[in-house]
Amino acid sequence: MLEKLRQLVAQTSLQLSDSQLQQCIDYVQLLHKWNSAYNLTSVRDPAEMLVKHVMDSLVIAPHLQGEHFIDVGTGPGLPGVLLAIYYPKKHFTLLDSLGKRVRFLNQVKLQLGLTNIHPLQSRVEQHQPTKHYDGVISRAFASTADMLQWCRHLPAPTGSFYAMKGAAVQEEIAALPDFVKVSAVIPLQVPELDASRHLVILTST
């Protein structure tokens, strides 16, 4: 699996050390192990997880600006865990409302030695941070318009929303609330993934 991940990463501009690659593999193995009991992801095959979870998460890394991020509706830590592996000096709050997912993330934090993640069980609209975030990240979490309404209180004035989306990007952009503007729509290339991916970056107006 390590060699397979190395080949996938080589098809991108991403730079990961051997220890970072190993952490990604360790994460996949933990996810696979816990998945049978906790049903954390519909992807059952670890080799598929490398593409659909690891690479699909990592491709947004070059576009993040700032130091403190929150991954809302993180599920089993996607993309937050992978981004924390990629950026050991940046801090990621991993927010989810389900206790079983947060328990899994605490185990990930312990076993992978990820001191820069903070798993947190809460509904997003109830989370009141002591310090606002440079970036609010969402992947497969509601529509962009809903995500913005629920997360409006989370970013710093200069912060951004990072919405990871599939193909129907323009429809969602057309329905955006007026308190944000689109900074960029970036097509993402995920090696060996036969699906359209985009990163929509939004800032406050």
Cβ neighbours of residue 110 closer than 8 Å, sequence gap 6 or more: none
Whether residue 147 contacts residue 123, with contact meaning beta carbons closer than 8 Å, is answered with no
Per-residue pLDDT reduced to its tens digit, 63-119: 999 999 999 999 999 999 999 999 999 999 999 999 999 999 999 999 999 999 999
Going by pLDDT thresholds of 50, 70 and 90, the confidence category of residue 169 is: confident
Buried b (16+ CB within 10 A) or exposed e, 25-53: bebbebbbebbeeeebbebeebeebbbbb
CA 65 to chain centroid, in Å, comes to 14
For residue 174 the two structure tokens come to 């057309």
Per-residue pLDDT reduced to its tens digit, 19-51: 999 999 999 999 999 999 999 999 999 999 999
